Amino acid sequence: MTAADRFAAPAADLAAPSPGGGTGEAPGTSGVGGPRARPGAVGLVLGSAFSLQFGSAVAALLFPRAGALGVVALRLIFSAVLLLALFRPRLRGYTRADWLAVAGLGVALGTMNSLFYQAIDRIPLGAAVTLELLGPLTLSVIASRRVISLVWAVLAGVGVYLLAAGDFGRLNVAGVAFALAAGAMWVAYILFNARAGARFPKVDGLALAMGIGALVSAPLGVVSAGTALLDPVTLGLGAAVAVLSSGLPYTLEMLALRRMPAATFAVLMSLMPVAATTAGFVVLHQNLGPAQLVAIALVVAASMGAVRSSR
C-alpha cells in the first residue's frame, strides 16, 4: 500500500502492510509472544509511515508537470536505482521459481503504484489510502477464520458507508475505482512479497522487484509524459519522492523491526490512513469533514483488530 507504495507484509503475518519486504521478523523478536518494543521503535514506524505519505503528497504536486504515470515511472526508477545500489543483490544461484516469485512481486508493485497514483490524482490522499487499505483488511479477515473477524468487517463497512454518505460520495468515481483496484493489487503484493522474502536474503528480493516494477512502469510513463520527464526540476522532485517513499521508509522499518515484534509493527502500520490524511492536509490542503475523519478512524480500528486477530 505503495501508498500506497509500496506496502508489503511480513511473511509471518499476511495482514501486515509493511513496505520493507522480507519476512518481517527481526532478530530477537517472536511475533505476539516476543519482547516488547524498545524505546524509539514506535517513533521509527511512525516516521516511516509519515515519510511514505508525505512522499505521496509531493508526488501529487508533480502531476501537473509529468502526469500520474510519469511520476510513477520516476519514483520507481529512482527507487530501483537507490535500492539496487545500496543492497547490491546477488543475481546468480536462483531457480526459475525464485525468479517467478520476484517477477510477480515486481509486476504487483508497479501496477499497485500506478493505480494508486491514478487514484490520488482524482480523490484526496487520506480517502485513497483508506480505500486501498480495504484490500489487506479483507485478506486479514479471510485469513483469520475467527468469528471476531466479522466484527472488524462490519466496522470497516460502517466506515466505508460514512465515507459514501458524506462529501466523499461526490468525489470522482474513477478515483474510487482506482483506489480499490490498488487495494486488490496490495493483496497480490503481500502474497508475492511473502514468497520472495522466503526465497531471497535480506531485502534482495524487494530490490530486484523494484527494478522489475520500474521496467513495467517506464514505458507507460514515457508515453504519457514524454520529454517532460527530462525537466531538471521534475527529475529533482522525482528523486525526492523516491527517497521519501522508498529509501527513508525502508531504512526506518528495518531499524524498527530490530526493536519490536512483527505483530506490533503490523498494528502500527495500520495507521497509514492517518498519516495520509495529515500529509494531504499539510501539503495538498485537502480537508475532510468530521464524518470522513470518523470513517477513516473506523477503518483504521478495523485494520488493527483484524491484524491482531489474524494470528
Summarize pLDDT for 122-175 with one digit per residue, the tens. 999 988 998 898 888 887 777 767 777 778 788 888 887 777 666 555 678 899
More confident of the two residues 222 and 307: 222
* pLDDT for position 153: 82
pLDDT at 14 over 50: no
pLDDT at 4 over 50: no
* Contact partners, residue 102, CB within 8 Å, separation at least 6: 196, 199, 200, 205, 208, 209, 212
More confident of the two residues 107 and 87: 107
pLDDT at 202 over 50: yes
44 vs 50: CA distance, rounded Å: 10
Q: What is the largest CA-CA distance in the chain?
A: 55
Using 50, 70 and 90 to split pLDDT, how confident is the model at 310? low
> How does 145-178 read in b/e, with b if 16+ C-beta sit within 10 Å?
eeeebeebbebbeebbebbeebebeebeeebbeb
Q: Average pLDDT, stretch 181-200?
A: 88
Model confidence, pTM: 0.81
15 vs 139: CA distance, rounded Å: 7
